[in-house]
Amino acid sequence: MPEVSIGITPACIARTRRFVVTELGQTYYEWCKDLIPAAEAAQSVLDNTQSSLGETV
């Protein structure tokens, strides 16, 4: 598994934490990442419907 670095801007903190992601963790992440566009599209449909109807769904 590749090593992954997560950093915060140097102005905030001057160190980087590193960790190794397991194969299962990477698979889970990929599935979750793929769900984001569908969730955003669903939210967009609700937002558009609300604005066209002028009511809260």
Tens of pLDDT, residues 24-55: 999 999 999 999 999 999 999 988 887 777 66
Identify the H or E element spanning 17.
strand 16-20
Residue written as token pair 């397991």: 22
Domain boundaries, the chain: 22-57
pLDDT at 22 over 80: yes
- Determine the length of the chain: 57
Global confidence as pTM: 0.47
Provide the pLDDT for residue 57: 53
- Could you tell me which residues come within 8 angstroms of residue 20 by beta carbon, excluding any fewer than 6 positions away? 1, 2, 3, 4
